[in-house]
Structure 1
């Protein structure tokens, strides 16, 4: 199957210019829009793996760069500004006329959770959801996750087994699905000594996400 090439689109938002890199599916049935975290961009291993694997499964992947990344800043914008940027580019994500699943890794996952209900997202994919700052479990952000669930939105969390921002067993009970990446850290990187290779870990992630999207 010949894959179409990725295309880049600049979108004006109240927070500045955002950028969407489209990885189109030949026969798309939905769009998965995923944004990056506060410490990196769309080159993150899990985002790139999804963009490479899912178009063949009928899912167009839109990798979203927030305005602070597009302008080359090193520090992420405040949560309120991130939400503004995401809301501002949402119409471009719905332009293909397909259901849109909102997603992201870390800070991007929080944005997707906070805005999913108002934007009418078909689901939320939370990669490496930062349940709390490292070493500070009392500063929980669980209500962002459970808020999306309470709004009736299907949520899938993909979490590394040794993520300092929240290990799978720390997550509250809820009507959402959680997939653990054994030995994975916050970047879903697995150590050399792990039972699975990095490639196997990412295959597990893309497989779990594809299977969840199939059920939506």
Structure 2
């Protein structure tokens, strides 16, 4: 665990290191929780054995024990300031996160030199307000040449897979809500739902162009 000073307070990075890493996959949390989120923990457990070091990043507001996330600009300021701590000699960085963390990664990826973006539960719109789309924010990174993967719950009120723009299909997690929780009545266990996520991310990472810093 590493504490990283930023202009808006101390951030915290928890490392899950691969023995022979090919890249660092840096993941931020959402506005309603921390790095204990089930999808972040599943990726931290699964990726290192395949050669991908995972860095779970806690924003300063969370480290300080506050319950409400600050404005997007403040989140971006912290992420940008802590970015150098994520860079290891010779290793590229894949930026990502869930929900608000995914938004931060998309907004800053091109500027920071991320080689790809992993967006988990991207909040495409506020619940019940599809007209307030954030698709431009989501695809800003991709339009600047940054590779993008979105993984979305099948019943996510912030945007189901079929709501994303034509020509782009996120990886869907059947029955998953915004936190990728699946009901006990679903034809899919919680463990299987998390496997959908980890398998999709591992497959995507393997298919990325040769990664160089």
Q: Give the aligned partner of residue 92 of structure 2.
A: 99
Unaligned 5+ residue runs, structure 1?
Answer: 1-7
The Cα of 1:95 is off from its aligned counterpart by 2.9
Q: 2:183 aligns with which of 187, 191, 194?
A: 191
The CA deviation at 1:15 is 1.7
Structure 1 residues 14 and 97, CA, compared in 2 at 3 Å: closer, same or farther? farther
Alignment deviations for residues 112-161 of structure 1 (CA, whole Å, 9 cap, x no partner): 00000000101000000000000011111111111111001110000000
Unaligned stretches of 5+ in structure 2?
Answer: 209-213
Seen in structure 2, the aligned counterparts of structure 1 residues 120 and 177 have a Cα distance that, compared at 3 Å, is: farther
From 37, 41, 54, the counterpart of 2:34: 41
What is residue 182 of structure 1 aligned with on the other side?
174
Q: Shift in Å at residue 177 of structure 1?
A: 5.5
Shift of 1:94: 0.7
Could you tell me how far 1:39 is from its partner in structure 2? 0.2
Could you say what secondary structure the match of 1:213 adopts? helix
1:212 equivalent among 198, 204, 210: 204
Residues 19 and 171 of structure 1: CA distance in aligned 2, closer, same or farther (over 3 Å): same
User: Separation in 2 of the partners of 1:93 and 1:183?
Assistant: 33
Q: Does 2:110 match 1:114? A: no
Distance in 1 between residues matched to 2:8 and 2:118, nearest whole Å: 23
**2:142 matched to 1:142?**
no
Match of 2:14 in 1: 21
- Indicate if the aligned counterparts of 2:29 and 2:57 stay in contact, CA closer than 8 A: yes
Kept in 1, the 8 Å contact 2:96–2:119? The answer is yes
Worse overlay, 69-78 or 89-98:
89-98
2:154 aligns with 161
Indicate conservation of the 8 Å contact 2:162/2:169, yes or no.
no
TM-score by length of 2: 0.96
TM-score (norm 1): 0.94
Partner of 1:5: none
Q: CA offsets per residue over residues 52-109 of structure 1, 9 Å max, x none?
A: 0000000000000000000000000110000000000100101343110000000000
Alignment RMSD (CA, Å): 0.9
Contact 2:21/2:53 (8 A) holds in 1: yes
